[in-house]
């Protein structure tokens, strides 16, 4: 901003005139070739402040697990605490039977998803009673396959950590058949 005494009684439009004047009479420093722009230190300082400041964004508006602001992420990992008691962990598998009779475990790589996303979308909901993901998985796998999936078998084990060690129990097996062609 210019000091008021140099502007005098500024009326609308005068400010624009002042800026025009500066182009008619260029800055002598610029004319002589000396650098007039922002110094490298200032540029780097602004970069540092911006980078650190942007980390407030995921904290102020927390998105939960499905964050879409990489690399500016909230770092709330493994934050929950657990009380005393048995610890259990379910290991689940999806086994596909193909039209050729071949059987194979369905992997996240084969489906084209990262492992956690595959489990979240196509495996965990099945064991909670939602059957739709099984049908979606069959149609996804059959979209470009030469050997079509005819059946998906969801199976697994529950591992329980108690005072006496680790116990293992089978989980109930759930089977889904692909709809017959034309259906």
Residues contributing to the site for another protein (CB under 8 A): 40-41, 44-45, 47-48, 51-52, 55, 59, 65-71, 73-85, 87, 89, 91, 109, 111-117, 120-121, 159, 161, 165-166
CA neighbours within 13 Å on the CB side: how many for 58? Answer: 17
The C-alpha angle with vertex 66 and arms to 62 and 68, in degrees rounded to 5, equals 75
* Closer to another protein by Cβ: residue 115 or 179: 115
* Closer to another protein by Cβ: residue 85 or 182: 85
CA dihedral of 16, 18, 22, 23, whole degrees rounded to 10: 30
* Closer to another protein by Cβ: residue 26 or 71: 71
Distance in Å, CB of 67 to another protein, minimum: 5
* Closer to another protein by Cβ: residue 18 or 87: 87
Q: State the alpha helices, DSSP H only, in 88-127.
A: 108-111, 115-118, 124-127
Distance in Å, CB of 10 to another protein, minimum: 26
The C-alpha angle with vertex 154 and arms to 153 and 160, in degrees rounded to 5, equals 145
């Amino acid at each position: 901003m210019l000091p008021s005494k140099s502007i005098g009684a500024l009326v609308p439009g005068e400010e624009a005139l002042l800026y025009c004047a500066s182009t008619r009479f260029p800055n002598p420093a610029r004319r002589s070739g000396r650098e007039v722009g922002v110094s490298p230190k200032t540029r780097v300082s602004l970069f540092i402040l911006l980078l650190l400041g942007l980390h407030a964004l995921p904290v102020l508006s927390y998105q939960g697990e499905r964050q879409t602001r990489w690399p500016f992420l909230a770092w709330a990992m493994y934050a929950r605490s657990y009380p005393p008691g048995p610890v259990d962990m379910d290991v689940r598998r999806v086994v596909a039977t193909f039209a050729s009779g071949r059987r194979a475990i369905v992997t996240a790589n084969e489906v084209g998803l990262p492992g956690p996303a595959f489990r979240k979308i196509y495996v965990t909901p099945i064991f909670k009673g939602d059957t739709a993901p099984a049908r979606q998985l069959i149609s996804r796998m059959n979209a470009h396959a030469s050997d079509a999936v005819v059946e998906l078998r969801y199976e697994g084990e529950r591992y329980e950590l108690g005072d006496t060690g680790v116990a293992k129990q089978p989980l109930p097996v759930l089977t889904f058949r692909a709809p017959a062609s034309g259906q």
